[in-house]
Structures are given as structure tokens and as C-alpha cells.
Amino acid sequence: MMQQTTDHEIASRSKGVRLTVTILASLAVAFFLLSFLQITMMK
Amino acid sequence: MSNAATHDHHDDHHGAPKGFFQRWCMSTNHKDIGTLYLIFALTMFFIGGSFAMAIRAELFQPGLQLMQPYFFNEMTTLHALVMIFGAVMPAFVGLGNWMIPMMIGAPDMALPRMNNLSFWILPFAFTLLLSTLFMPGGSAAGGWTMLPPLSLQSSSLAFTVFAIHLMGISSIMGAINIIATILNLRAPGMELLKMPVFVWSWLITAFLLIAVMPVLAGAVTMLLTDKYFGTSFFNAAGGGDPVLYQHIFWFFGHPEVYIMILPAFGIISEVIPTFARKPIFGYKAMVFAIASIAFLSFIVWAHHMFTVGLPLGAEIFFMYATMLIAVPTGVKVFNWVATMWGSSMTFETPMLFAIAFVILFTIGGFSGLMLALVPADFQYHDTYFVVAHFHYVLVTGAIFAIISATYYWLPKWTGNMYSEFWGKMHFWNSVIWVNVLFFPQHFLGLAGMPRRIPDYNVAFASFNMVSSIGGFLFGASQLIFLGVLIHCAFFSKNKATDRVWEGAKGLEWTVPSPAPYHTFDVPPVIHDDELAHGNVNA
């Protein structure tokens, strides 16, 4: 038995995916830059 | 009103695209991309394995028989890079791609086109990496850790670094995709604490990947600028410090170890309950143990560096933090044993590999505890004891789990049963020869044989010969695996049922075998008794 998916739910999922990707991609960039900061501060 | 529009259930409204290029190069289907990852990982497993055979052949006897020392160093370096980034990690991503959407009732990965890109970066990355073998000056040969100043001597450093950047980008995109899928595309009713442990393990692993792969990228970028752009991040003459590289590398490197083992924990937590015909013992404890191990993995990196001259306080902190990891790991091992305790177990090939995992991974864990002790580590550091330790964790741990998962889900992927006889032949050959291969290396290490050397004292000859024989036969055993896979995919007449295994529970077993090209276009209704581990909140 399958549930029904509404367009509203699909739109809400897309919004969630976009938000998740934005946050995670920002985190990845932050960690990349942090490695340089860490080295510079430890030197 | 558009919000009232609904989507009817059509599992097979359109099938796989016609044409090889369209289907495999342009695919956005999670199952096809999962298959691509798995085939790629298997190919890399055999390439990395051939490097291992070369290493063991040279070490068969003392003296230099087959290769020059620089080529030996290239083999150890590329064996590690290929096995870690080309075999183990892509295999787990392939398993995640195939199974996570089906386990949580999602139609596909959240970002299917990025999924395609994540995979197709990899063949180019590894072509680049392996092509350095044929370049003047050879490939990187300073070990997979690429410690400066040694690694800066490599004339192909730029190619190696760029290949690692590509692998990192692929991993980060894959991790983002997995997190976005799990957090946003679960079927209604599939709450976080109802998800299969394998999905949980991948969710946590994906966060680890996002946190540490950029750090590796940063570290190798600094190597690159030190070599080609005159910076002195790690150059003592310019005010830098090579030990800083080790800190930043191992800040990546230790979580990386857990990136390679946490999904294995997830797999074993699916396989054992199925063949024990019991829900997993302590579901929530298993999930929290994985999260605890992931957290602790960030605060133990310097246990790889006890001999570089750390302050005593730091050594004591990292020693105790490392030993702390044994607690959540112990929770997992005891819970697997408790799941099997008093159960109606059967011993099909996936279960045999899972049981071997529990026993042999624990041996690797115990030798890890020995290495965590600072005074003892001063003796063991850079000896074959370390080689034995991490191969027990990664071969009988990660790779055995991947093999177990392959046998477990292969009937769901292909629609055919594999040959149980040849599966068991593969298992018994693997489990015997892997121990002949790696167990004597403990003794070699304790006797003082250093790692990463092509020649050695004659005192180490016997155990090295035994280890090499084990290595050749373990390598040959994997050809049985290849044969079983090819036979199952293309020639097996024994059709699989939908559920495949009597004790199997979870959404992936509710779809036909082979799994249709599209599954769960509309979310399934979640019944608690169908959940992989039952309703743990009940």
C-alpha cells in the first residue's frame, strides 16, 4: 500500500534539500579555510 | 487545487534508458550509480591488491629480488591510496547509493545529477593518480600520509595532490547527497530512530566526511604551495614546521579511519539480526555508540604522533581519549554477540563474513588499544605491528563487511541467488589466508621489523615468508569472489525471492527481486513490524 504525496509536500522537500545542501556546502568550505587558519595560528 | 494533486504508484512506469552511454554515463538513477561505484571499487580492489602482491613478493625473502627500493615505496604508497580512496570508500558509497533510498522509502537520492558527477569524477582521479607510475621520476613514494619534507621530493606531487582533490570533491558531494537524502526524503513514518542502523551509520559517516575531507584538501594544498609557490607552511628554513602537517593530516586521518569502519558497523548490524532471526539487541545503544565513536574520532588524532615529541600532557590526553573509544566499540561488539545469543542462527555466506568481522575486527581493536598506550607505542611505532593492526581493522573489518553486504544484497540487486557453495569456499579461503597473511606481522613488529622497507634482517625471514604465502593465497581467494559475482549476475538460474532471507526485515525486502529500476515513486506506508529493527520506541 502506498501513501499519497501532494505537490505541497514535494515543494517542501525541495526546499529542505536546498537548505541542507547550502548548510553542508558552507560547512565544507569553512573546514577547508579553517585548516589554513589553524596552521597560520600554530606557526 | 494543485496541492491536492496526488501521484499514483507506478514502480515501473519507465525502465532503464536504452543504450550503454545513456544508461551508464548519463545515469541519474541511484541503483545504476550504486552499481557503477561497486564495479569501480572492485576494479580498484584488484589493482590495489596487485600492488600488495608486488610488496609481498619482494618481502618473500630478505634482500632485493624483484624491484628497486623506490618502486617498492611507490607500491606501498599507491596500495594505500588506491585501497582507501578507490576501493573501500567507493564501495561504501555504492552500497549507500543502492540501499539508502530503498531502506528509507525514498524514490532516489536527493540530488541525482550531482550523484552522477560524484561518481564520474573518480575514474579520472584514479587515472591521474595511477598515470604517475609511468611518468619520469615516478609516482608519489613517501607513503599515503605524504609527510613533508619527504613528499615534497616527488616530481609528481602536483598530479597526486590534484587526484586527491578530485577524490575529496567526489566524497564531499557524495556525503552532502546522502545527508540531504536521509534528512529530507524519508517516507512519512520513517522517523530517525526507526531507520536501519546502516542508514544511521552512513548519516554519521557523511558528517565526518564533510568535516574532514576539506581539511585534507587544505593540507595537500599547502604541500603544493610549499613546493611550487615558495610558501613555508611546513618548511623549517622558512619559519614553518613539518610537524604541523602531521597534526592537520591526522586531524583528517583519524576520522578517515572511522569513515572506513562506521558503515561496516551498519552493515553488520543489518546482517546479524537477519540470520539470527532476532531484532538487534540495543538498537538505540548501537546508534548512540556510532555517534560517540564519531565524536571521539575528532579528539584522538595525535595518537599517530606520540613519537614526534609531544608535550607529556598532550600524550596523556590523547592516550586516554583513544582508550575511551573502546567503550562505545565494546557496546557494539557485545550487542552483536547479544543479538546472536540464544537465536536461531543459520550460517549463510553473509553471516559467516559478519561473524568473522566481529571476531577479527575485535583483534584489530585490541591491538589498537595496545598502540594507544604511549610507552608501548614508543616500541611499536612504525613497526609491522602497526601494519598488522590496521590490516585487521581494514581488511577483516571494512572489506569483510563490504563482502558480507555484497552477498547479503546481491540477490536483491540481480534477482538471482549466488552459489552458496562457492560463497562458502570464498569465505573459508579468505578467513584462513587473511590470518596467515596478517597474524605473523604482529610478531614481526614486536621483534622490531620496521614498516615500509623492501629489505630486512634475516631474523625476520620465516614470518615474512609465511605472511607472503598467506598474501598470495588470500589474493587468489578473491578471484573466487569475482567468479561468484559474475556467475550470479549473468548465469545463475536460481531466482531470488522478494524477501530473499527468511529473517530479513526492512523496506528493501518489500520490493521485487531484482529491485525495479524505480522504487517508491510515492512513499510506502510504514508498518512497524516491517521496520528493519522493529519499533524501538514501542
Chain segment B19-32, per-residue pLDDT in tens: 889 999 999 999 99
CA distance B438 to B526: 45
Q: Under an 8 Å CB criterion, which residues of B touch A?
A: 2-7, 9, 110-111, 172, 175-176, 179-180, 183-185, 187-188, 210-215, 217-219, 222, 233, 239-241, 244, 247-248, 251, 522-525
CA distance B81 to B138: 15
* Per-residue pLDDT, B117: 97
Of the pLDDT bands very low, low, confident and very high (cuts 50, 70, 90), residue A9 is: confident
Does the reported pTM lie above 0.90?
yes
CA distance B394 to B396: 6
CA distance B92 to B105: 19
- The 10 Å Cβ neighbour count of residue B371 is 22
Of the pLDDT bands very low, low, confident and very high (cuts 50, 70, 90), residue A4 is: low
CA dihedral B454, B455, B459, B462 (to 10 degrees): 50
- For residues B528 and B306, the model is more confident at B306
CA distance B66 to B305: 33
* Per-residue pLDDT, B321: 97
CA distance B159 to B223: 12
- The 10 Å Cβ neighbour count of residue B28 is 15
| Nearest one of B253, B273, B287 to B146, comparing CA atoms | B253
Segment B129-150, tens digit of pLDDT: 999 999 999 999 999 999 999 9
Q: A17, B184: Cβ pair inside 8 Å?
A: yes
Segment B412-430, tens digit of pLDDT: 999 999 999 999 999 999 9
**What is the residue type of A40?**
T
- Answer yes or no: is pLDDT of A2 > 90: no
User: Which residue among A7, A25, A33 sits closest to B2, beta carbon to beta carbon?
Assistant: A7
B453-462 long-range contacts (CB < 8 A, ≥24 apart) are B454/B58, B454/B59, B454/B64, B454/B67, B454/B69, B454/B72, B454/B73, B455/B62, B455/B63, B455/B64, B455/B69, B456/B59, B456/B62, B457/B62, B458/B62, B460/B62, B461/B61, B461/B62
Q: B222, A39: Cβ pair inside 8 Å?
A: yes
Sign of the torsion formed by the C-alpha atoms of B475, B446, B80 and B374? positive
Chain A contact set for B112 (CB, 8 A): none
Cβ B48 vs Cβ B82: under 8 Å? yes
Segment B462-491, tens digit of pLDDT: 999 999 999 999 999 999 999 999 999 999
Residues of B annotated as part of the active site: 79, 108, 144, 170-171, 254, 256, 258, 269, 303-304, 329, 332, 451
3-state secondary structure of B494: coil
Q: Which residues are CB-contacts of B18 (< 8 A; sequence separation ≥ 6)?
A: none
CA dihedral B351, B357, B359, B364 (to 10 degrees): 180
How large is the ipTM? Answer: 0.83
Of the pLDDT bands very low, low, confident and very high (cuts 50, 70, 90), residue B3 is: very low
- Answer yes or no: is pLDDT of B347 > 70: yes
Residues 10-39 of A with CB under 8 A from B: 13, 16-17, 20-21, 24-25, 27-36, 38-39
